[in-house]
Amino acid sequence: MSARETIECAYQGGVFKPIENSDLVEGIKLKIKIEKVDLSKYYDRWDFLLQSRRCSP
């Protein structure tokens, strides 16, 4: 792991859980910078993809 790495996490049950696997060592202490992700800008694209899959044979 480099000195800086971005790992997407979900906050569940009072714990930050990585969404994907990482190479972090169990018990490592980290400093976390919180950046809220605004997913609303992707809603139109997501709706389009869902609709296009429903129309596919």
Domains of the chain by residue range: 9-55
H-run or E-run covering 52: helix 43-55
- The residue with tokens 């480099």 is 2
**More confident position, 41 or 17:** 17
Strand runs (DSSP E) across the chain, as ranges? 9-12, 15-18
**What percent of the chain is predicted at pLDDT more than 90?**
7
pLDDT, residue 57, reads 52
CA dist 45 and 39 (Å) reads 11
Mean pLDDT of 15-42: 85
pTM for this one? 0.48
Is the pLDDT reported for residue 29 higher than 80?
yes
